[in-house]
Amino acid sequence: MTDELSTAERLLPGLDRQLRETGTAELESATSPGLRIFRQAGGPGLVVPGELGGLGASLVDALHIQRVLGARSPSLAVAVNMHVCTVLAMPPCAATEDLLRAVAGDHLYIASGFGEGRPGASVLAPTMRAERLEKGWRLNGAKKPCSLSESMDFLTASVALSSADTDGSEMALAIIPADAEGVSVRPFRSSPVLVGSETHEVVLTDVDVPDECMSLLGDPQSLNAALSTAFHTFELLVTASYVGAASGLVETVLERRRGTAAERVELVGELETVMASLEAVARACELGQDDPAGVARALYVRYSAQRTIERVAALATELLGGTPYMVSGVSATLFSAVRALAFHPPSRSAMADALDRFVLGEPLIIP
Ligand SMILES: Cc1cc2nc3c(=O)[nH]c(=O)nc-3n(C[C@H](O)[C@H](O)[C@H](O)COP(=O)(O)OP(=O)(O)OC[C@H]3O[C@@H](n4cnc5c(N)ncnc54)[C@H](O)[C@@H]3O)c2cc1C
């Protein structure tokens, strides 16, 4: 992870040291200081362009940072990932520039609400509707699971637009201040996994959003430029976050010289191969373009990474041994956290038919 650590030191100096000193156990607790530490380090402005006051990090830089965050705290990586993907991929609307300036200048977080907690449902079929008002939209519904929901300064929520001009087939991303009237957060879960990610339910009751804060995503039946950018960045960055979690386990194996040299090198090589693939896809990616082949490649890498991470995490946990697993619990925490890569949309089995048709020349559709 040498390159990733140098990127972190170049862009967010001192962050890794502070996260290491805090320790994974505390960062993975329900009272994790991780998002506060990342905010104080200037992390929210990471991928905001330099001309808007941000650090102007590239997509490859962002992959590196997500890996480092994942190694220290998968919860922190999962929560930050939603913010970074939103900043990179949100289609521009009238409010975007001011929002990004504020994000960089005041170190603000943006949460992303697409999922609605309906098993088997597509993230591109929101039941949250936006009803037309004279100069804006009225939103009602709930988003869950929604990470970053305690620390968020803004929520971006996917909605289906209902008006005389649209039949509900158009999707938009509404930008909503977290303290707007009608926004509330309620607990969503009781599992101890990834509790530091602040993943809860965000409820919207008669929340009014002006036109200038609606970012259009188009018709989700086709993979247009906006959706292509969203999936391209999300698949790469979420994968890097979980590569990071597996890297945290492997780092400990290396530090404690557990296993044989052959086993240690196998673990390192497996993760470096995934990271090299992610970087290759990221370097070829032109954000804002309609690029189905790039999205498909990002998905292939992600699904392959899921398998690799399963193998690496299982072997690393075994080499670390039963005592750390039972006593400190950190290897158990990371081992169970890495499994969640499989739960981010679109799932491997949900995408199988669509990719099978795409390789035969049909358009790529995200179900
Ligand atoms: C830690 C974490 C944080 C998250 N944070 C956010 C967030 O901040 N914002 C957000 O919008 N979402 C977030 N999500 C939610 C995520 O976006 C998914 O929407 C949600 O996890 C889907 O729920 P589910 O796993 O029950 O999926 P389901 O859709 O019920 O799928 C469960 C399994 O069923 C199978 N399956 C599903 N559909 C099909 C199909 N069509 N064909 C064949 N098999 C299928 C797959 O094996 C899949 O893995 C988060 C998820 C996790 C795990």
| End position of a domain, from candidates 53, 81, 108 | 108
The residue whose two tokens read 């099978």 is 356
68 shares its domain with 192: no
- Categorize the per-residue pLDDT at 119 as very low, low, confident or very high, splitting at 50, 70 and 90: confident
173 shares its domain with 289: no
Q: Which residue has the least CA distance to atom 47 on ligand 1?
A: 349
Q: Which residue has the least CA distance to atom 7 on ligand 1?
A: 146
CA of 239 to the centre of ligand 1 (A): 15
Expressed as residue numbers, the domain containing 195 is 111-218
* Encoded tokens for 170: 């158009």
250 shares its domain with 279: yes
Q: Which residue has the least CA distance to atom 49 on ligand 1?
A: 347
Considering the domain boundaries, does residue 362 fall inside one?
no
What's the whole-number mean pLDDT along residues 267-289? 95
Considering the domain boundaries, does residue 282 fall inside one?
yes
Considering the domain boundaries, does residue 58 fall inside one?
yes
214 shares its domain with 232: no
Tens-place pLDDT, residues 31-72: 999 999 999 999 999 999 999 999 999 999 999 999 999 999
Number of domains in the chain: 3
Say how far apart CA 340 and CA 176 lie, in whole Å. 27
CA of 145 to the centre of ligand 1 (A): 9
Q: Are 47 and 66 in contact (CB under 8 A)?
A: no
Of 67 and 165, which is predicted with more confidence?
67
Tens-place pLDDT, residues 191-240: 889 999 999 999 999 999 999 999 999 888 888 999 999 999 999 999 99
| End position of a domain, from candidates 218, 236, 256 | 218
238 shares its domain with 348: yes
pLDDT at residue 164 tops 80: no
- pLDDT of 169: 74
What's the whole-number mean pLDDT along residues 312-320? 97
Q: Which residue has the least CA distance to atom 29 on ligand 1?
A: 120
What's the whole-number mean pLDDT along residues 87-102? 97
Instruction: Give every CB contact of residue 123 below 8 A, 6+ residues apart in sequence.
Output: 114, 115, 158, 345, 346
Residues within 6 Å of ligand 1 by CB: 78, 82, 112-115, 119-120, 123, 145-147, 194, 197, 199, 340, 342-345, 347, 349-350, 367
- pLDDT of 192: 86
Tens-place pLDDT, residues 196-210: 999 999 999 999 999
pLDDT at residue 166 tops 70: no
- pLDDT of 146: 96
% the chain with pLDDT above 90: 86
Which of 82-86, 274-278, 329-333 is predicted with the least confidence, judged by mean pLDDT?
A: 329-333
| Ligand 1 atom nearest residue 193's Cα | 1
3-state secondary structure of 215: strand
| End position of a domain, from candidates 197, 218, 239 | 218
93 shares its domain with 62: yes
- pLDDT of 329: 81
Considering the domain boundaries, does residue 367 fall inside one?
no
CA of 343 to the centre of ligand 1 (A): 5
- pLDDT of 191: 85
Residue 343, Cβ density class (10 Å: 0-12 exposed, 13-18 middle, ≥19 buried): exposed
Q: Which residue has the least CA distance to atom 26 on ligand 1?
A: 119
3-state secondary structure of 310: helix
Mean pLDDT over each residue of the chain, to the nearest integer: 95
- pLDDT of 328: 79
User: CA-CA distances (angstroms) from residue 244 to 73, 162, 261, 300, 319?
Assistant: 9, 41, 21, 18, 18
